[in-house]
Structures are given as C-alpha cells and as structure tokens.
Structure 1
Amino acid sequence: MEATNTPIKGWQQENDTKSLSEVHGSVRVPVDSGFFKTLRAYIGPGMMVAVGYMDPGNWATDIAGGARFGYRLLSVVLISNLFAILLQHLALKLGIATGRDLAQACRDHFSRPVAIGLWILAEIAIAATDLAEVIGSAIALNLLFGLPLTIGILITALDVLLLLYLQNKGFQTIERIIASLIFLIIGCFGYELLVSRPNFTDVVTGLVPSPEIITNPGMLYIAIGILGATVMPHNLYLHSSIVQTRDFKRDNAGRKTAIKFATIDSTISLFLAFFINAAILILSAAAFHFSGNQQVADITDAHRLLDPILGVKLAGILFAVALLASGQNSTLTGTLAGQIVMEGFLNLRIQPWLRRLITRLVAIVPALVVAVLYGEQGTSELLVFSQVILSLQLSFAVVPLVQFTSDKVKMGRFVNPVWMKALSWIVAVLIIGLNGYLLWDTIA
C-alpha cells in the first residue's frame, strides 16, 4: 500500500526518509471493510497523544483549581481540551497529507540555522516533559511504598530497559499497554468520584464559562495555568509521526479516509483525557474545597488528606496508583517524541536505548540534585518550573504547525478551510499570549 501516485507538492525536497522508519506503515488497515473494523485499525495513536494531557505536570493545576474554587474552573478544562482536539487534528493531518512529521516539515521549510534552533528548543521541551515524568513517578513511589525521592528518581532510569523490550514487540504492543494504563487511571478516578460524591448539578454548572474567571485575579491565574499547560509541544511532533504507522493507501482517497479515522481516534482519546483532568479537579473540589482545605495545592498534600476527609482507605492508594500509571505512560510517549524530533530535524539516527538514556539522564540529574538538597518542596517547585519551560517552547511548535497546514501549496486539497485557518490562528495566538503572561508572572 505504498502507492504515491498523487504526491503533495510545494516542499523544497522529496521526503525519502520515513518518519519512525522501523514501524512506518507497519499496522495493517483492512480494505473495503465496515466502519468499525476500519476504525479499530486506526485506534491507538490518539491514546498515545492523550497521555500528554494527563501527565503529572497537569495534576497540580487541577488540584489547586478544585481546592480553591470548587467546580468553577471545569469550563477551563473543557475549553483547553477543545483547543487540544483542534491542534492534534492539524498535527495528524500534516503527517498523513504530506508524509512528513512536524520535525521533518520544519527541516524542509526553514533554513538550517532556524531548523537547528527549533530542534534545540524541542529537545529542551522534551527534557522538561521527562523531568515532570521523573518527579511524578518518584512521588508516586514515595506515596505507595515510602521510598525516598532520591531512590524513586533512580528507579525511573530502569524504564530504558522496559522500552527496549516493548519496541521489539511491535508498535501496537506499546499502544495497547498505554491504553491499558489509561483505563487503569480512569478506573482509579471513577472510584474516587464515587466515594467523594460531588454535587452533579454544580459540576454541570461548572462546565459553563463564568465572567468571574476573568474578574477574579486568583481564579484567572489558575485558569491560565490550566490553559497554558494543556497543549504539550512534543505531542504535536509525536502525533504527526505515529499516524503514519498505519498502512493506508498513499493517494488522495486513502489520505482522506486516514485523516477521518485518525481524527475520530484522536477526538475520542482526548475526551478520555478530559475526563481524567476533570475528575482530578472534581475530586479536589469535593474533597478539599467544601471541607475547609482550600489551601491544598500539590500532589503530596492531596494524597495525605484524601483518606481522612473521604472516610475510606483506598482513595489515597488509588490516587498514587493513577499518578504512577500517568508517569510511566508519559515516559513511553516522551521516548518516541525524542526519537522523532532528533531524526526529523537532523536526519540523524542513533540507537533508541542511547537516545532514551541521554534524555533520561538530562532529567534525572537536576531532579536528583534538587531532591538531595531541598527535598519534597524542592521537587514540587522543579515540577512547576518544568511546566514554565514547556510554556516557553510551545509557540515554536504551534506556529509552524498552523502555518504549514494553512498553506495550499504544501497541503494541496487537504489545506485548512478558511474557517479552520482563522480558528487555528486565534487559538495559537491565545495560547501563546496566555503562556507568555504566565511565564512573565512566574518570573516576576
């Protein structure tokens, strides 16, 4: 199914190097099958992308938002999710329509110095993402087994071996493991919501945006944090690549079908991520806001208070289990994103285990130093700092993505329609503005 009888023109050079070449087109797509059989073949990449929207770096803002303001910031979580759905649709469309992931497209379009600069920024963002995963997993191991943070951080280095093993089992094996961990997280928070007994009417009301979000400075700050930290830069590179693992026909009809089913996969998966983020905020509101514990703002405090406030013994354990699953899931997808970025920007291939080891060491060293010198408080602050780095880098991934997918010459018949082009630029400018404000406020 490698027919290329209708290639997309408008790029500086032919794209002979396939993204993730070892698994490119490796997942069979049934021909002339029904809707659900075809959709089943496309399910997977969306789940891997959804992981980035529920990683440990997002938990703190959801916890703080629920504890301080109840259910009133649920609308912000929903809006953030809608932004993510749009941008991930653009990413998958770029990959399917052009045969290029976002990193390859940047290397092709920009001059080499610009491309190198974008690569460095992308690597910094991936290291920051990995930092959040390391700290989140270490905190989860501490909460579950009482392991010191330093030991937990060192244990996270072992996932290099896990990834090596999984990569030899086929791409869909990784997808299934990630999907299983996502449903484990959903199950944990499903239980948490049952025992916390949130007010359903207030939850529904919270999904409607309120003017108070703008007029209340404290609420606005957390709302910006939720919005600004939602879209993860590495996810845009990741999604534009892994959709190409499907063995669809590389002509206009095949691309159109692939975009349709990949978008369904992505949208469903991101709504699962919305459920998890909303569940964290709802749990925090039900457990802390209405019990006089509005000061709760980090993962450790939330875990410590859940059992005594809710009057059950499993709430804290399942909270930590979900955190550990979230950290490990993010590790797997972050690894692939690192490989995609290096290969795409530099056209350079190194052994996956070596690439992962380098990225992990960049995250482990600062996390270990801070844990030794400053303990739990220091690692919490480092987690926040990692999100600031991600905010700073985001515009350098979003702007090229919107630019490429809005270019008729590059995208051909798959170019963004006028309404989507306008909406994409509005969302991009809004996200960049909010991240800039949050970054400035954090530094100031």
Structure 2
Amino acid sequence: MVNQKGRARLGSGSAVFVKKLWLFTGPGFLMSIAFLDPGNLEGDLQAGAIAGYSLLWLLLWATAMGLLVQLLAARLGVATGRHLAELCRDEYPSWARLLLWVMAELALIGADIQEVIGSAIAIKILSNGFCLSGLGHHYRFGLSNRFIFVGILIPKLSSKTIRQAVGVVGCIIMPHNVFLHSALVQSREIDHRKKGRVQEALKYYSIECTIALVLSFIINLFVTTVFAKGFYGTEVANSIGLLNAGQYLQEKYGGGVIPILYIWGIGLLAAGQSSTITGTYAGQFIMGGFLNLRLKKWLRALITRSFAIIPTMIVALVFDSSEDMLDVLNEWLNVLQSIQIPFALIPLLCLVSKEQIMGTFRIGPVLKTTSWLVAALVILINGYLLLDFFSSEVNSALFGTVVCAFTAAYIAFIIYLVSRGVAFRSWCNLGQPKIVADTVIE
C-alpha cells in the first residue's frame, strides 16, 4: 500500500489489491503514450492500407517485445533506485558515455519532430472548423472478426509487405522510452532495504505496465484494421500518410454528427500533444542522468527541451508543408530513431544482468537469453530497414563512402558495448570483490 508520500503498506483482499495497484499506477500509462505517437499511427495506417490484416500478428508480437523491454527498464529503476542514464554514466568511460548521450538526444529529437509534424497536421485539419453537414450519415466501421483473428493468430509475410513489417516493429521500441520508464518508476518511495517492498513494487508496476500496453495494442489494432478494411487493395493504398489520411477516411466513411475527418484530427492532435509530455520528461532524465546536472528544475527543463525544440524549429523552417517533403522527412526520422535502438537496449540488458548492480533482482538465465534474442531480432530488423533505406538513397560515390564509414563505426560501437558487458561478467566470475549498489536488497 502507498500513502500520500508513496510508502507501501500491507493489506489483503481484492479491494486492497485494486487500491495498491491504483497507487502504483502512472508510470506505465505515461510511458505507453509513446506507443501511440504520430509516428506509430502512421506506421499503423500504412501497414493496414498496404498489407491489410496480414501484419496484425506482428503488431501483437512487437507489442509483446516492447512490453518485455519496458518491464526490464522498470525492473532496473525499482531495484537500483536509479535510472538508466545515471547508471550508464557510472558504467562507461567518458567517451562512451558522451556518445551514448548524443545518441539518446538524437532519438529524442527525431521523436519530437514527428510529434510536432503530427500536431501541425491535426491543427491544419481542425482549423477549417467543424462542418456538421454529415448529419444523418453513419460510420461504416463494420470490421470482420474472422479476418482480424486470422491476422492475429496466423503469421503471414510477403516480399511486398516487408517494409511495412519492419516499420511495425521499429515504431514500437523507442530508445527514449526505455530511459523514461526506468526513471518514472522512482516516483514512488520504496524501502530498498526490504526485499519484500521491492518485490511488491515490481509486481504492481509490471501489472500496470501490462495493462497500459494491452490498451495501446488495442488502439493500434483499431487504426490498422480500419485502414485495412477501407483501403487495402485500392489504388490509393500506397499514397496514404498522416497528411492525407483524414481526407481519405472522410471520403470513404463519411461522418455522423461530427465528420470522421475531424475525429481523426482530434485523435492525431491528442497523440502529438500527449507524446510531447513523454518527450519532455525523457529529455530531462537523459540529460540530467548522463551529464549529472545539478540545476533548478525550471532551468534544467529549459535547457533539456531546447536541445529538442531548437532542431524542430529549424526543420519547420527548412521544410515546407508539401506532402512529398513531409513523407521524406518522416522516412529519415524513422531511420534516425532506428539507428539509436541498440544504444538503449544493450546497456539495459547488460545492467539488469549484473548482480553487482541488481543484487538479487538480476534477471536469470532464461529471461536473459530471451531478452538478448529479442534485442538481436529488433536490431536485425532495424538493420534491414537501414540497409533498404540507404540502398535506395545512395546515388553517389561520396555519399556511399560516408555511409560505409558511418556503418563501420556504428557496428564497432555496438560490438564494444556488448563485449564490455561480457568482459564485466567474466571479471566478476574470477572472484573479484562484488560491488553492491547502495540499493541492493539485504
């Protein structure tokens, strides 16, 4: 149980369970907002329009992989009392720590720009005013349960939908969200000297996180199936994006009291604005953790948000509002965030595997193997996206040379992060003194 200050109490019965769960509720739902940002919605609608119901199974498993990663992030924060950026600051040498910070900031900037684009499109839709001429019409969202269940239960992938499949996975796991969740779970005061208190917190945070991501999966499922039913197999399927999705929905489904175009606009605006909140918190934790900032909250918020907002403003001035330019920009932003994924996943998995960091709450062999397999799968999938994207974009020897040099340095840094984690565990197994964090359970 948790009082006003967040301290746990004991109790029994279902009413106590619900009350405890409520008092630990918050971090998981705030984190789950990032699973519904404009970038995710665009991935959903394109998957539905181009691949129909065939990628619903992948959406389910991608959400499950995202849930595993977020549960590990919460586990790290609860067991240690510190978040991922803070632990990375102590774990890695200065050059690696600064590089990890730059990568996390770049991922956050990319997410922020997509949120601004989504909000701008929503405002453009809503600024025309609410036209009530759709009175008397009915929404025609009759979705076939058979097709939905078949799409969820039977894996199916064709060469024509590989890019959409990669996009589905790439949109679910976001680097800044991993840093964010490991920090948010520390909003409740937990007595780390008592193993039972930590176990209780982990239990309720895990339940809350699971509920939040199940709800996000349902919303993503609805978006995908609506566009699958309305546009799969049509001539416009390959041209649907955030900018024109509302208009296509209006033409296809019409509207009721409020035209569907404006319902889409309201939802898109809500997605953009709410995900901006997660970006604000993530930016503060990332910069404060990596750089060990000791500033007043308002000054820290100003500095951390400036790192994301200023590039966003520059992009807004450089790029015009044409649909083609926005599509190109979104593709590059997806690539930018995909590049950063290993630099959040690998440090997370290395840290939660260490007894010197986690104490008795380090992950066991089965969960460790599963987690590394998931991380490897996600990295390979995003590697395919990067290869496919750059192979279509490289059109000069100079650009090709730059890409190759960047790729070599990128792979070398990933190998360094993995090998450092393996070397640390080997050093511990040689009988060296075990360094126990001040939050390790007694």
Q: TM-score range by the shorter chain?
A: 0.7 to 0.9
Equivalent in 82, 94, 97 of residue 76 of structure 2: 94
CA RMSD of aligned residues (A): 2.1
Distance 1:443 1:27 in 2: 51
What are the superposed Cα offsets for residues 399-427 of structure 1, whole Å, 9 maximum, x if unpaired? 11011111222211101122111100000
Give 1:286's aligned residue: 229
Give 2:351's aligned residue: 404
Pair 1:342 & 2:290 matched: no
* Kept in 2: contact 1:237–1:337 (CA 8 A): yes
Secondary structure, in 3 states, of the residue corresponding to 1:197? coil
Pair 1:253 & 2:196 matched: yes
Equivalent in 79, 87, 100 of residue 118 of structure 1: 100
* Kept in 1: contact 2:74–2:185 (CA 8 A): yes
Equivalent in 362, 377, 387 of residue 311 of structure 2: 362
Distance 1:381 1:349 in 2: 39
Following superposition of structure 1 onto structure 2, how do residues 32-431 of structure 1 map, counting pairs within 5 Å? 32-33=10-11, 34-146=16-128, 195-210=140-155, 212-213=156-157, 216-251=158-193, 252-289=195-232, 293-313=236-256, 314-350=259-295, 351=299, 352-371=301-320, 375-431=322-378
User: How far off its partner does 1:440 sit?
Assistant: 1.4
Structure 1's unaligned 5+ residue stretches are 2-24, 148-192
* Kept in 2: contact 1:63–1:281 (CA 8 A): yes
Equivalences, count = 372
Give 1:12's aligned residue: none
Distance 2:96 2:178 in 1: 18
TM-score by length of 2: 0.80
User: How far off its partner does 1:146 sit?
Assistant: 4.4
Percent same amino acid among aligned pairs? 35
Question: Which protein shows a greater Rg?
Answer: 2
1:144 partner letter: L
Give 1:162's aligned residue: none
* Kept in 2: contact 1:95–1:101 (CA 8 A): yes
Distance 2:108 2:49 in 1: 30
What are the superposed Cα offsets for residues 60-82 of structure 1, whole Å, 9 maximum, x if unpaired? 22111111221111111101100
1:203 partner letter: I
* Kept in 2: contact 1:101–1:241 (CA 8 A): yes
1:342 partner letter: M
1:364 partner letter: M
Distance 2:252 2:60 in 1: 27
Distance 2:5 2:184 in 1: 11
* Kept in 2: contact 1:27–1:41 (CA 8 A): no
Secondary structure, in 3 states, of the residue corresponding to 2:172? coil
User: How far off its partner does 1:333 sit?
Assistant: 0.7
Instruction: Decide which moves more: 88-97 or 58-67.
Output: 58-67
* Kept in 1: contact 2:139–2:255 (CA 8 A): no
* Kept in 1: contact 2:73–2:179 (CA 8 A): yes
1:102 partner letter: L
User: How far off its partner does 1:356 sit?
Assistant: 1.8
* Kept in 2: contact 1:63–1:296 (CA 8 A): no
User: How far off its partner does 1:441 sit?
Assistant: 0.8
Distance 1:224 1:358 in 2: 29
* Kept in 2: contact 1:122–1:393 (CA 8 A): yes
User: How far off its partner does 1:140 sit?
Assistant: 0.7
User: How far off its partner does 1:380 sit?
Assistant: 2.6
Give 2:401's aligned residue: none
User: How far off its partner does 1:291 sit?
Assistant: 5.8
* Kept in 2: contact 1:29–1:38 (CA 8 A): no
User: How far off its partner does 1:297 sit?
Assistant: 2.7
1:134 partner letter: V
Distance 1:276 1:27 in 2: 33
Distance 2:88 2:248 in 1: 47
Distance 2:5 2:387 in 1: 44
Distance 2:340 2:208 in 1: 26
1:399 partner letter: I
Pair 1:28 & 2:6 matched: yes
Distance 1:297 1:438 in 2: 20
User: How far off its partner does 1:354 sit?
Assistant: 3.6
Secondary structure, in 3 states, of the residue corresponding to 2:143? coil
Distance 1:112 1:235 in 2: 23
Instruction: Decide which moves more: 423-432 or 308-317.
Output: 308-317
TM-aligned CA distance change 1:396 to 1:358, over 3 Å:
closer
